[in-house]
Structure 1
Amino acid sequence: MNGKQIQEAKQAIRERIWMLLEKERAVNANPEGRIPAFVGADAAAALLAAHPSWQSANVIKAVPDRAQMPVRARAFEEGKRVYMAASKLAAQKPFYLLDPETLAISPREAAERHTAARYARPVDLDEMPHVDLVVCGSVAVNYRGVRLGKGAGYSDIEVALLHEAGLIGSSTLIATTVHELQVVDEELPEAGHDFRVDLIITQDRVIECSPYRRPPGIMWESLTPEAIEAIPVLASRRP
């Protein structure tokens, strides 16, 4: 498939999953166009917290989506430092540092993206330490770890930036929390800039995927000039 065909195939699957989640009342809000805020997100966060990769992690990079809010809250509550991406990576410093040692707010407040944007310290890549665990959201994911996001591509850019900056390596685990209905037993379309996840955590189980796959950095040819200009951290690094 060419690039256009891959995007069309991805979108068809997203729409199918969004409709299924709504039909089965497995979401807390209209999921269309979003990472679904799924029923059971707290249970999935608890299962992730029981995994050895979580227990050994001190620094976590998490997405700002509502579905992963329980993950961010639990990390903050357990004293872990959380780096959360700014909305659409549109800030000059594209990540927020949620540090339990410096933020005198509750874990739930810290995990709420609008609160974090107000109180947390913005940081650039060169201010970040090595990341022990990456947590992302997904619309659909299969047993090989191939995932579909909501279609904007921000998670792929975040992971590529971290990899390029040496903040994650090929052995750094990437986890996604999803509803059981989002786990599919089928091939999913995949582009060259897409990363795969190592762990899938639902409200009921943990699925370990292998082998992992991720690009070594930003694949500039996959980005339009408009997309680069809209993200300062990319515009400043454009070759």
Structure 2
Amino acid sequence: MVANPTILLCPHGAPWRPGSPLVNYKSLSNWSAVPASEGRKPRILPLPALAFRCMLSSPASPDPIGVGSSESSPVDREAFEAERLRLDASARDSMAVTASASEESDDGKAWKWRIRKRIWDLMEAVGIARNPRPVHHRIPNFVGAPKAAELLARLEDFQKALCVKVNPDSPQKQVRFLTLTGGKKLLAPQPRLRTGFFSVLESQMVPPGSILEACSSFGLSKYGRPIGLDEKLKVDLIVIGSVAIDPQTGARLGKGEGFAELEYGMLRYMGAVDDSTLVVTSVHDKQLVDDIPVEKLLVHDVPVDIICTPTQVIYTHTTIPKPQGIYWDKLSPQKLNQIRILREMKKRIEKDIGKLLPCGPSEKLPPTARRGRVFM
């Protein structure tokens, strides 16, 4: 028996065995735990029967549960990747249905989906798309992404930055690598904010030889330190993924889920960014467009200050106002229900101001978009 054991986590119906790897319970969205004491038999707790196994943890180490520690909290990579791929496929199916419905109805979002589809089709057709494929309904990876990242890293604003927020998508993996190896603090969101909020990662938190792994979604979960809305930090530069970008105006289109805008709005709420915080994107030259109508952009759309491609750096000198926070009257109840950290933020604000915040119009999400809670 482990001396002074603290917490047991166990999937429903699965026996605990000594030596089974830990689950990082703080990354679970509906974990259950019971105190364990000397002589008490381990209890099986009502977690879904996923491919996670658990063990008792001892408070002998400073971090008994192993948050951010690869040695004390080995995450089941196979299960993590399987669940990530399943959810990504589900989300992309959802976006495909939404795009099809928008184009057929010619609603206010139809023009965005037409531009996205044109760029995705072009990238596949001319051979500049890179894995994960197809690039449709993704922030598309592209030939020359590392070169664009190198140009981005040469920017004076990047070199001076102490903390850089970078999106978790494939084409920006080299940006995350250069952030860590440049001695900077990397702030990265959980993909689709599905398991939490943001993770903070610095090179000294990563074992030697594991920097590349730390730049992946799995590595960010494995080595990063999760933060909450009370974290005090200043983000010096934001790197954002794009599907299409207008170099003349800085108008940008993402993949259509709106998470970059939500992330930006929450960082504004935390005081981590303001109007002076530069927003940079790295894209292929073929993703540059001239037909994004600025007058049709929504108040929460995030404009871009600097564009880095494999061949050039473009300063947009955008005059599009940056969002000032979360626009609750634009946020549907369905989207709010998908993201726990948003619900927490809304409750805090309502408590502070003493009244309920407005809610946006309801939206009918396709069945594949109704994702349940995630265990990672």
Same-fold call, TM cutoff 0.5: yes
One-letter code of the match for 1:21?
A: M
Percent of aligned pairs with the same residue?
36
- The higher radius of gyration belongs to 2
* 8 Å contact kept, 1:76–1:110: no
- Tell whether 2:132 aligns with 1:24: no
How far apart are the structure 1 equivalents of 2:335 and 2:128?
A: 33
Q: How do 1:27-176 residues align onto structure 2 when only pairs under 5 Å count?
A: 27-28=129-130, 29-92=133-196, 94-105=197-208, 106-143=210-247, 144-176=249-281
How far apart are the structure 1 equivalents of 2:108 and 2:267?
A: 25
One-letter code of the match for 1:197?
A: V
Deviation at 1:128, TM superposition (A): 4.3
How far apart are the structure 1 equivalents of 2:126 and 2:152?
A: 24
* SS state at 1:156 partner: helix
- Which structure features the higher share of strand residues? 1
How far apart are the structure 1 equivalents of 2:179 and 2:297?
A: 30
- Tell whether 2:299 aligns with 1:195: no
Deviation at 1:5, TM superposition (A): 3.0
The count of aligned residue pairs is 235
One-letter code of the match for 2:207?
A: A
* SS state at 1:60 partner: strand
Deviation at 1:74, TM superposition (A): 0.8
State the partner residue of 1:12.
114
In structure 1, the gaps of 5 or more residues are: none
Q: Deviations over 1:57-98 (max 9, x none)?
A: 010011100111010011111111101000211234x01111
Deviation at 1:228, TM superposition (A): 0.8
Please, which moves more after superposition, 130-139 or 222-231? 222-231
How far apart are the structure 2 equivalents of 1:147 and 1:208?
A: 14
State the partner residue of 2:313.
206
One-letter code of the match for 1:55?
A: Q
TM-score by length of 1: 0.94
- Tell whether 2:333 aligns with 1:225: yes
Structure 2 counterpart of 1:235, from 339, 343, 357: 343
Runs of 4+ deviating beyond 6 Å: none
* SS state at 1:126 partner: coil
Deviation at 1:176, TM superposition (A): 0.5
How far apart are the structure 2 equivalents of 1:156 and 1:134?
A: 12
How far apart are the structure 1 equivalents of 2:337 and 2:258?
A: 15
Q: CA RMSD in A?
A: 1.3
State the partner residue of 2:89.
none
TM-score by length of 2: 0.61
Please, which moves more after superposition, 145-154 or 94-103? 94-103
* SS state at 1:174 partner: strand
How far apart are the structure 1 equivalents of 2:331 and 2:198?
A: 20
* SS state at 2:345 partner: coil
How far apart are the structure 1 equivalents of 2:221 and 2:266?
A: 20
In structure 2, the gaps of 5 or more residues are: 1-105, 347-356, 358-376
